[in-house]
Amino acid sequence: MLHDVLLVMQKTFHSKPEAERVCILSFDEMHNDRKICYDVSEDQILGPFSKVQLVLARGIMAGWKQPVFFNFDTTMTKHLLYEIILKIEEKGLIVKAIVFDLAGSSTLWKEQELEITSKNNFFIHPLNCRKIWTFADPPHYLKLLRNHFLDTGLVLKDGTVLTKNIVEEFFKKDRGEYKLCLKLKPNLLTVRGNERQKVSPAKTLFSATTAKALLLLTENQRAAEFFEFVDSFFYIMNSPKLHPPSNKPLQAGYGLEKYFSQQEQILQNMKEEINGMRVQGKKSLLPFQKGILIYISSLSGSWNDLKNFKFSYILTSRHTQDSLESLFSQIRGAGRFYDHPSSVEVIYQLRNLLLANKLPILSPKVNTREDSINEGYLTADILKNAFAEKDIQEIHDLPSEEDDLVAFENLCSEEFPMEWKIDEPSNYCGMTFSEHEGLKYTAGYIAFRVRSEDSSLGYFSAEKTDSESAPKIYALSKGGLTVPTEAWLKITEEMECLFVSIHGKSGYHSGKKCH
C-alpha cells in the first residue's frame, strides 16, 4: 500500500462532499524485465520478478485518479482486494465499484463469497451490507468480439451467421483510388499477436461507417445493423463528457434525461442479442459475452445506487481500465526503445509520476486511448499547486486520432435511414460504383472547405433530401456533410479523367514529373 499517498488523499478529501469521495478501483498486471537488480535508495536486492500488480483509484463523479497499491508477482485475490478497500476507506473514500479485464482477473470471479457471474454482478462490502459493483473492461471484450468474428464467425440470435467473408466481399468491390471506407483496410482482417492488443482496429471494424459501407456494397442488411448496433453500444460504454458532439448523442453522460431512454433501449437490446448469440462451434456463452452482460447489469444497478449520493449522471469512460493502461504506457515509455522495465525502474518511474508527472512520452504499445489522458495524478497536481510551475514538467498533449476528412460531422443533427438502392456501377472514366461514390465524397469535402469563398459548389445534406444522387454521403451524414452540385461534380469527374489519361489508374508515382 502507498501509505503516504493515502495520507495525502485523506487530507485532500476530508472536507469534500461525499459524491467527490466515491471512487472505482481498477487493477491489472504489467510484465516487467525478469532480472535481479539493486535498489540504491533502499539498499536492497529486488527480483527476479516477472509481473507487477497495480491498483488505481479513480473518482466516479470528480475527475481525479491515483495509484494506491503495487506489488511484484502478486495475484489479485479476494482477501487482498478486501484489504485494499478497507485501507482506502479508512482515509474517508468510498469504494463503489471495481473494473478488471477478462484475462488474469477471471479467477477472481470464481472465488468463494464473490462468485461473479452474469446474474450476480456485485459483492458485499467486507464490513457492511453495501454493494460493490463489478465491471468488465469494455475495450477487452470489444477486441475479443472482433477476434471471434475473424477466427470462427458469430451466430446471431436469429440464426444469421456473420464471418469475415462479409468484409472480404466488401473489399472486392471497394477497390481503386477512391474508397467508400478510407479507414477500413484489408490488414484489419489479418491482425495477429500484439496487434490484437490494440483497440483502434476493432473500433474501426465495428463502426457505423463500416456498417453503412457494407450495406451500400453488399446489401447485407443484418450485418450492417449488427455492426452499427455494436458501435452504438460502445459509444454508451465510453462517455467522456457530459454533453457529447451533436453527431454522437449516445456518448452523453449516462442517466441524463434527454438521452436516457435511448441509451437504455440499446443496452436492453444488446443484452438480448448477447444472450442469444453464439460463437460458431460453441454451445454456451464465452467469457467476453458474460463480461458484456455483467457490465450492462452493473451499470444499471450502480446508477440506481449512486442516486443516493445525488449523482445526476455517470461518465462511463471512468468505468474502464483506460487510466490504468495509460499508467502502464507511461511507465513503459520511460524506457523509450526498451519498454520492459526492471522492478527498480518500475518503482522509480512510478515515483516520478506520483510526484511530478515527469513521464510525457507514451509507449507505442498502449492499447487504448483516453480523452482525459492529460490529467495528472492527484498527488502530482497537489505538488504542482504547492510549488512554482516552472519546477514541474507537465505532460504534453497527445496527437489527435480524429479523421480530418470527417471532422465537420460535428455539425450533424439529423438521422437518416440506412435504406439505399444501389445503382449499376458507373462506367464513367472506367470508375466502379464504389470509386464514383468516393469521388463524390471528395468533391463534397472540397466544396465544404471552400464554402466561405464559393458556396455554389455544394450544399448540406439536410438542405435537400436526394439520397439517390449521393448514396454514400447520405448514408454517413446526419445532416452536416456536404453534397456536391451536379455542375461541380461534373468538373471533378473531368479533372479525374484528365489525370487518369496522363498518369493511368495507378496515379502519380514518386520519380515521375508532371509538367
Q: What angle do CA 465, 471, 475 make, to 5 degrees?
A: 80
State how far the Cα of 165 lies from the Cα of 187, in Å rounded to an integer.
14
Supply 315's cell numbers.
461518465
Residue 159 clears pLDDT 70, i.e. is over it? yes
- What confidence score (pLDDT) does residue 337 get? 57
pLDDT bracket for residue 475 (50, 70, 90): confident
Residue 7 clears pLDDT 50, i.e. is over it? yes
- What confidence score (pLDDT) does residue 361 get? 47
Record the pTM.
0.78
Alpha-carbon separation of residue 111 from 41, 189, 238, 287 (angstroms): 38, 37, 29, 16
Report which of residues 98 and 178 the model is more confident about: 98
State pLDDT tens for residues 316-353.
999 999 999 989 988 887 665 567 889 999 999 899 88
Q: 278 CB contacts (<8 Å, ≥6 apart)?
A: 154, 155, 284, 285
Alpha-carbon separation of residue 464 from 122, 296, 467, 484 (angstroms): 51, 39, 9, 12
- What confidence score (pLDDT) does residue 375 get? 66
- What confidence score (pLDDT) does residue 358 get? 58
**Mean predicted confidence (pLDDT) in 409-415:** 38
State pLDDT tens for residues 347-402.
998 998 888 765 544 544 444 444 444 567 888 888 777 664 444 444 333 333 34
Structural domain spans, the chain: 3-101+322-384, 139-308, 433-503
Across 150-164, 184-198, 409-423, which has the greatest mean pLDDT? Answer: 150-164
In a 13 Å sphere around the CA of 165, the CA atoms on its Cβ side amount to 6
Q: What share of the chain in percent tops pLDDT 70?
A: 83
Report which of residues 302 and 409 the model is more confident about: 302
Q: For residue 394, which of 404, 381, 412, 407 has the smallest C-alpha distance?
A: 381
- What confidence score (pLDDT) does residue 21 get? 94
- What confidence score (pLDDT) does residue 508 get? 53
Q: For residue 494, which of 435, 449, 445, 429 has the smallest C-alpha distance?
A: 429
Residue 71 clears pLDDT 90, i.e. is over it? yes
Residue 199 clears pLDDT 60, i.e. is over it? yes
Q: Tell me which DSSP letter residue 39 carries.
A: E
**Mean predicted confidence (pLDDT) in 163-192:** 86
- What confidence score (pLDDT) does residue 118 get? 76
Sign of CA dihedral 220, 250, 374, 302: negative
Report which of residues 352 and 177 the model is more confident about: 352
Report which of residues 398 and 5 the model is more confident about: 5
Q: Tell me which DSSP letter residue 401 carries.
A: -
DSSP states along 470-501: -HHHHHH-SS-SEEEPHHHHHHHHHHHHHHHH
Q: For residue 293, which of 155, 162, 109 has the smallest C-alpha distance?
A: 109
**Mean pLDDT computed over every residue of the chain:** 82
DSSP states along 429-476: GG--HHHHHHHHHHHHHHHHHTTTT-TTSEEEGGG---GGG-HHHHHH
**Mean predicted confidence (pLDDT) in 139-166:** 94
State how far the Cα of 128 lies from the Cα of 443, in Å rounded to an integer.
64
- What confidence score (pLDDT) does residue 357 get? 65
State pLDDT tens for residues 428-441.
567 888 888 888 88
Residue 186 clears pLDDT 70, i.e. is over it? yes
